[in-house]
């Protein structure tokens, strides 16, 4: 397969280019169906004229249907796209990048999706779909408790969850309190969304993400909070993202003093309330209710989902603490990490 693809790239480079284009079209339709042609053209940054010819070809091949509500993939289209995903990993050398990134960051597993989630929101959904597939493969027969953090990337994971007999038995819990941000990006909301879409159950944690020492000590002794925290700490799976340090500090409405400290000490990453510099050293810890970094060593499956060129430094810094994690990222972040090593 690899030899054939290498020959095609040299002798028929246009063929590989067309294959990549049609693959992108099919992927986006699967994520957003039903979708109109104009919306699809805008999201793929493609002229309607070029897209029209591609859509006509794909329809003639029986891979998609066009109705008044928009375009959708046929069963043949879905089957072909699933088969094509493995081929495209070879075409774009993604399989090689996965191996290189796994070795560089010393991770359990690495999964890379084509594209750049900084530029194309649909790539974030592809990362979400990949994460859901990984989740399902690693569930226990019964008694699964899945802890999830907040943010737009994990919200995309929740969006990709579909009803599943295995997930139906799972309990979803938020890994931390609320950041006071948009409600759809909070851990509680994402937790509830995942549970409803999976037909599972959930428990919520109605506390702020960061607290004073006095408030923290008082809240963790509350029976209802204590019970939720016990469930969170008993999780066998955690789904989380990795944030860029200054972005997360602003989302937390941090003090000017902290923002200045993060700047002076060259913070690049944030996860679970910890801020890291480029060498992976912890330079600040926010007092939060929920999972702490030290709790992760007792959890069987930890899946980090983070992508985009802007997150490359953050991913690399945070992963110095997390060799047993599974990373789901995108092509842009992977290339940036590998090229700056």
Domain 93-339 is in which class? Answer: alpha beta
With 0-12 / 13-18 / 19 or more C-beta atoms within 10 angstroms meaning exposed / middle / buried, residue 166 is middle
pLDDT means per 10 residues, the chain with 341 residues, are 61 73 90 90 86 92 92 93 84 88 94 91 91 91 90 94 84 81 80 93 80 69 85 95 92 87 94 93 88 90 96 95 87 94 68
Q: Which of 175, 105, 92, 13 is nearest to 319 (CA)?
A: 105
Distance CA 139, CA 146 (A): 9
Q: What is the pLDDT of residue 223?
A: 83
Q: What is the pLDDT of residue 226?
A: 87
Q: For the residues of 193-231, what is the DSSP string, one character each?
A: HHHHHHT-EE----SBSB--HHHHHHHHTSHHHHHHHHH
Q: What is the pLDDT of residue 162?
A: 87
In DSSP terms, 288 is beta-bridged to 210
Q: Which of 112, 94, 123 is nearest to 31 (CA)?
A: 123
Please give the distance of CA 127 from its chain centroid, rounded to a whole number. Answer: 5
Q: What is the pLDDT of residue 6?
A: 62
Distance CA 183, CA 80 (A): 37
Angle between helices 75-91 and 13-32 (to 10 degrees): 130
Number of helices and strands (H, E) in the chain?
Answer: 15, 13
Residue with tokens 């993400």, as numbered in its chain: 209
Assign 3-class secondary structure to 121-141. HHHHHHHHHHHHHHHHHCCCC
With 0-12 / 13-18 / 19 or more C-beta atoms within 10 angstroms meaning exposed / middle / buried, residue 165 is exposed
Torsion angle of C-alpha atoms 215, 322, 125, 113, degrees rounded to 10:
170
Q: Is 316:100 a contact under the CB 8 Å cutoff?
A: no
DSSP secondary-structure letter at 35?
B
Domain boundaries, the chain: 2-90, 93-339
Distance CA 257, CA 44 (A): 42
The pTM is what?
Answer: 0.86
Q: What is the pLDDT of residue 13?
A: 63
Q: For the residues of 138-190, what is the DSSP string, one character each?
A: T--SS--EEEE--SHHHHHHHHH----TTGGG-EEEESB-B-SS-GGGSHHHH
**Dihedral (CA of 91, 97, 100, 103) sign:** negative
Give the right CATH number for 2-90 from 3.30.420.280, 3.40.50.620, 1.10.10.10, 1.10.8.60: 1.10.10.10
């Amino acid at each position: 397969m690899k030899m054939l693809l290498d020959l095609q790239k040299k002798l028929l480079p246009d063929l590989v280019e067309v294959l990549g284009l049609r693959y992108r079209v099919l992927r986006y339709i699967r994520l957003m169906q039903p979708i109109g042609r104009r919306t699809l053209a805008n999201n793929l940054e493609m002229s309607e004229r070029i897209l029209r010819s591609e859509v006509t070809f794909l329809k003639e091949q029986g891979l998609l249907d066009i109705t008044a509500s928009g375009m959708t993939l046929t069963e043949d289209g879905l089957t072909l796209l699933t088969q094509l995903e493995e081929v495209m990993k070879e075409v774009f050398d993604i399989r090689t990048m996965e191996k290189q990134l796994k070795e560089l960051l010393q991770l359990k597993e690495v999964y890379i999706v084509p594209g750049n989630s900084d530029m194309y929101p649909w790539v974030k959904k592809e990362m979400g779909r990949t994460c859901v597939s990984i989740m399902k493969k690693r569930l226990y027969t019964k008694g699964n408790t899945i802890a999830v953090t907040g943010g737009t990337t994990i919200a995309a994971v929740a969006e990709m969850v579909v009803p599943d007999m295995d997930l139906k038995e799972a309990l979803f819990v938020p890994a931390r309190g609320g950041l006071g941000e948009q409600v759809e990006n909070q851990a509680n909301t994402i937790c509830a969304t995942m549970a409803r879409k999976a037909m599972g159950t959930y428990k919520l944690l109605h506390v702020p993400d960061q607290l004073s020492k006095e408030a923290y000590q008082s809240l963790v002794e509350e029976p209802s909070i204590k019970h939720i925290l016990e469930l969170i700490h008993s999780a066998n799976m955690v789904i989380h993202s990795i944030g860029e340090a200054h972005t997360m500090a602003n989302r937390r409405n941090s003090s000017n003093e902290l923002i200045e400290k993060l700047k002076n000490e060259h913070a690049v990453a944030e996860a679970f309330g910890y801020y890291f510099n480029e060498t992976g050293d912890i330079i600040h810890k926010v007092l939060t209710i929920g999972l702490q970094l030290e709790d992760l060593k007792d959890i069987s499956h930890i899946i980090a989902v983070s992508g985009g060129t802007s997150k490359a430094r953050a991913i690399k810094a945070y992963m110095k603490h997390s060799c047993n994690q599974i990373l789901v990222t995108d092509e842009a972040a992977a290339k940036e990490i590998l090229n700056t090593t």
